[in-house]
Structure 1
Amino acid sequence: MEHTLIQADDTLTLWGIIIVWASASIYLEQRYKWASKVSGAILALIGAIILSNTGIIPTESPVYDAVWGTIVPLAIPLLLFHVNLKKIWKESGKLLIIFLLSSIGTVAGTIVSFFLLKDHIPYLDKIGAMISATYIGGGVNFAAMAAKFETPGELVSATVVADNLMMAIYFIVLMIIPTLSFFRKRYSIPHILEVESGNSDGDGTTLAESFWKRKDISLKDIALSVGTAFLLVIISFKIAGFLDTAIPSGENASVLMNLLNGLLGDKYLMLTTITFILLGLFPKYFDSINGSQEIGTYLIYLFFVVIGIPASIPLILTNAPLLLLFTFIVVMINMIISLTAGKLLKTNLEDIILASNANIGGPTTAAALAIAKGWKDLVGPILVVGTLGYIIGNYIGTLLGFWFSSII
């Protein structure tokens, strides 16, 4: 057990800290110009990093697992209730192309990083398989590669810490990029301009406060928003769980069966799909619910706090400074290739940022970034496209793992 001021089993206090700091981040973002420029998401994340690295809160707790397992799934349908389905289909094609090109960036980054550091980091063939898989898909792929290549437990733990810290840093970088004039001048930014045009009246409010104007909301709206979201999560997760068990997967199954299992057995993809179907079937019902976007965004801010907590700087400096360098090289090459490919294809900056985020952090963190920036029409597409990474991540990780092991 970690020696922290608040212990991992003090669930009430930990929930309180997450909720209070998420609330404070939202307030600061909407109250002060400097905080609005930094963004509430970054404030939430940095605050969490400080709290965990100063020994106030632990880096692991069942509370954080509950945020990943319950809060995030609830937020997803809430934020999709008012999306424009026509824009969803229009945006998905562009995002898919840039996401796949960004995945090539991960592969290239892993190969370069492996050859630079293979003589300095033990078991780098196994670590390379894990990082390449997770930086295309997500934590599921990381766990699958760790088990497949039988990576020693202490190395898995050290790699997780390096991965968490790098993801937190990269998330902050991706949040800052759209505010820099260098990128704004060189890429098309339609979603950024759409959000900023909402504060064109010069009334002195911050951009965030203007975007989240006060709306009419009733007790019935809250009940229908939360109740419908919970119902969608339960149904989707049960169906996905059943199909994941029913459809064969693994080394003994065919490529087609593995593909079907990855598509139909994925909880988040099933949740997004069922939500889309119901949006198409009952548009008036979902249009009539006020407040779902606000509730969903608040829940995502709890998630922003939690993703910053495991980024333990002392642990990295003690156990895995070279692993941090390894992940840094992979992430930098992914970003460079994503931005270059996006520029050549005249892709929107928002699409490039979200595609790279979906590779490195998974579709949920990419959706969270889209929500934080107010790019509501990209939330659905990046969840759909990003989930593809869960499917292809294991194949790419396996191929690179076998290749690297033949070299070492």
Structure 2
Amino acid sequence: MEEVTSLIHPENYWVLWAILIGWAAIAIILEQKFSWASKLSGAIIALIGAMILSNTGVIPLESPVYDTVWSYVVPLAIPLLLFQSNIVKVWQESKRLLIIFLISTIGTVAGTIVAFFLLKDVIPNLNYIGAMLSGSYTGGGVNFAAMATRFDVDEGLVSSTVVADNLLMAVYFLVLITIPAIGFFKNKFGTPHIDEIEKNSDASENQASSYWGRKEISLRDIALAIGTAFAIVAVSFSLAGFFSELIPEDSNIFLTVLRGIIGDDYLMLTTLTLVLVAVFPKYFDSISGSQEFGTFFIYIFFVVIGVPASIPLIIQNAPLILVFAALIVFINMLISFSAGKLFKFNLEEIILASNANIGGPTTAAAMAISRGWTKLVGPILIIGTLGYIIGNYVGTALGVWFTSMM
């Protein structure tokens, strides 16, 4: 845990929970009450607020409370948000998202190579940084940790790279979530999901307020929604843990890939939820409020995303690493949007694919939820989670290559 320099101590759990949940609630209220906030989105309000609180020293950069959100709140949000998902439609959408996701992955690889050759003479140990960030910007934090362990990277270097990664991810998240509101992008790309929301929204009120109108919900709905979500997460994570231990980590390529698929918590969680919804559609259709619960949990997650983005730490420890990471992200974005335009992908698909690369499946799903692109939530969770498998291969290959040239 970091040296305590914040107004609120990292172990002052009740106050930190009050801030996280309270600010998430304020972001939602602002989004539904004011048109400017609706256009900006509650997700951005939640994230920026957290960045301000952490960078001004009000709340700590690290706390067990934040870890709890990642470990428990986010996994519960996923099944709640998939209770109304049609697996046939999910598969239809996943095929398109897989292609643009793989193109975006090529952008990460290209960006890492270009950035490495530009900066390898001015940043020490760039071979290790390149391995960690290329893995992370293909799959997510799981791959970052795997590459740090694989190359036995010094703890200080890992910490500096994590700080740069967190800040850049938060900034890029803001960029991506703002793009749909920019006329240039809406004119250049197809936007069927945005168009559907605007078509179904009441012109007299903002989109968020219209979409999240008051619904009937009973105590039974609350019990079934939360109880079922807990049960699915428990079974999914237990199954993933069982298969992960059953299949050795240093197996052949086939078993390694299989272990990565059925031994991954989030892929197992997404798959099991979609299967259960397909097998028992009437049960899940009868539950009201699951989307509202899941979305509120995701807004709490938005707040947590903004917390570690420490600008002072970047300036002090890792300004050049931030430049290196920014080059990777810029080239990923350039290739993703250029190829997306060439092959006629929708703006929403391109944004979510790039987000899944840079931030992982949870941030991509959170963005889809915040924008009301509900049909893409399940597909991007599935595709983004598969990035965890690809990320280890990308990071290892580039790390070994870069090390041979140092």
- Give TM-score scaled by structure 2 length: 0.99
Q: What SS does the corresponding residue of 1:127 show, helix, strand or coil?
A: helix
Q: What SS does the corresponding residue of 1:57 show, helix, strand or coil?
A: coil
Query: 1:277 maps to which residue?
Result: 275
Query: 2:56 maps to which residue?
Result: 54
Query: 2:301 maps to which residue?
Result: 303
Letter in 2 for 1:148: R
Residue deviations 1:21-53, cap 9 Å, x none?
A: 000000000000111111000000000000000
- The alpha-carbon deviation at position 151 of structure 1 amounts to 1.1
Q: Tell whether 2:176 aligns with 1:178.
A: no
- The alpha-carbon deviation at position 231 of structure 1 amounts to 0.3
**What is the CA–CA distance in structure 2 between the aligned matches of 1:324 and 1:214, rounded to whole Å?**
44
Query: Would you identify which runs of 4 or more consecutive aligned residues in structure 1 move more than 2 Å?
Result: none
Worse-superposed segment, 241-250 or 49-58: 241-250
Residue deviations 1:279-299, cap 9 Å, x none?
A: 111000000100000000000
Q: What SS does the corresponding residue of 1:392 show, helix, strand or coil?
A: helix
Q: Tell whether 2:213 aligns with 1:210.
A: no
- The alpha-carbon deviation at position 2 of structure 1 amounts to 2.2
**What is the CA–CA distance in structure 1 between the aligned matches of 2:5 and 2:148, rounded to whole Å?**
28
Q: Tell whether 2:89 aligns with 1:91.
A: no
Query: 1:108 maps to which residue?
Result: 110
Query: 1:123 maps to which residue?
Result: 125
Contact 2:138/2:390, CA 8 A, preserved across alignment: yes
Query: 1:286 maps to which residue?
Result: 284
- The alpha-carbon deviation at position 198 of structure 1 amounts to 2.0
Letter in 2 for 1:202: A
- After TM superposition, list the pairs within 5 Å mapping 1:11-160 onto structure 2: 11-160=13-162
**What is the CA–CA distance in structure 2 between the aligned matches of 1:189 and 1:83, rounded to whole Å?**
21
Query: 1:360 maps to which residue?
Result: 358
Q: What SS does the corresponding residue of 1:109 show, helix, strand or coil?
A: helix
Q: What SS does the corresponding residue of 2:184 show, helix, strand or coil?
A: helix
- The alpha-carbon deviation at position 19 of structure 1 amounts to 0.5
Letter in 2 for 1:353: I
Which runs of 5 or more structure 1 residues have no equivalent in the other structure?
Answer: none
Q: What SS does the corresponding residue of 1:88 show, helix, strand or coil?
A: helix
Letter in 2 for 1:151: V
Q: What SS does the corresponding residue of 2:298 show, helix, strand or coil?
A: helix
Which runs of 5 or more structure 2 residues have no equivalent in the other structure?
Answer: none
- The alpha-carbon deviation at position 215 of structure 1 amounts to 0.6
Letter in 1 for 2:200: G
Worse-superposed segment, 76-85 or 225-234: 76-85
Residue deviations 1:219-267, cap 9 Å, x none?
A: 11011000000000000000000100001123xx100011011000000
Contact 2:86/2:277, CA 8 A, preserved across alignment: no
Q: Tell whether 2:327 aligns with 1:338.
A: no
Query: Structure 1 residue aligned with 2:266, among 265, 268, 272?
Result: 268
**What is the CA–CA distance in structure 1 between the aligned matches of 2:261 and 2:396, rounded to whole Å?**
19
Query: 1:248 maps to which residue?
Result: 248
**What is the CA–CA distance in structure 2 between the aligned matches of 1:84 and 1:212, rounded to whole Å?**
21
Query: 2:226 maps to which residue?
Result: 226
Q: What SS does the corresponding residue of 1:4 show, helix, strand or coil?
A: coil
Query: Structure 1 residue aligned with 2:397, among 378, 396, 399?
Result: 399
**What is the CA–CA distance in structure 1 between the aligned matches of 2:203 and 2:181, rounded to whole Å?**
19
- The alpha-carbon deviation at position 381 of structure 1 amounts to 0.2
**What is the CA–CA distance in structure 2 between the aligned matches of 1:61 and 1:192, rounded to whole Å?**
37
**What is the CA–CA distance in structure 2 between the aligned matches of 1:6 and 1:372, rounded to whole Å?**
29
Residue deviations 1:316-337, cap 9 Å, x none?
A: 0000000110110000000010
Q: Count how many residue pairs are aligned between Structure 1 and Structure 2.
A: 404
Residue deviations 1:183-241, cap 9 Å, x none?
A: 11111100111111122x322x2110001011110111011000000000000000000
- Give TM-score scaled by structure 1 length: 0.98
Identity %: 63
**What is the CA–CA distance in structure 2 between the aligned matches of 1:126 and 1:278, rounded to whole Å?**
42
**What is the CA–CA distance in structure 2 between the aligned matches of 1:371 and 1:172, rounded to whole Å?**
15
Query: 1:347 maps to which residue?
Result: 345
- The alpha-carbon deviation at position 388 of structure 1 amounts to 1.2
Q: What SS does the corresponding residue of 1:176 show, helix, strand or coil?
A: helix
Q: What SS does the corresponding residue of 1:355 show, helix, strand or coil?
A: helix
- The alpha-carbon deviation at position 377 of structure 1 amounts to 0.6
**What is the CA–CA distance in structure 2 between the aligned matches of 1:21 and 1:280, rounded to whole Å?**
35
Residue deviations 1:146-182, cap 9 Å, x none?
A: 1111111111000000000000000000000111111
Residue deviations 1:36-91, cap 9 Å, x none?
A: 11100000000000000000000000000000000000000000001232321110
**What is the CA–CA distance in structure 1 between the aligned matches of 2:109 and 2:257, rounded to whole Å?**
20
Residue deviations 1:2-30, cap 9 Å, x none?
A: 21100100000000000000000000000
**What is the CA–CA distance in structure 1 between the aligned matches of 2:258 and 2:397, rounded to whole Å?**
20
Q: What SS does the corresponding residue of 1:147 show, helix, strand or coil?
A: helix
Q: Tell whether 2:184 aligns with 1:191.
A: no
**What is the CA–CA distance in structure 2 between the aligned matches of 1:365 and 1:113, rounded to whole Å?**
24
**What is the CA–CA distance in structure 1 between the aligned matches of 2:203 and 2:175, rounded to whole Å?**
28
**What is the CA–CA distance in structure 2 between the aligned matches of 1:198 and 1:185, rounded to whole Å?**
20
Letter in 1 for 2:158: V
**What is the CA–CA distance in structure 2 between the aligned matches of 1:202 and 1:105, rounded to whole Å?**
39
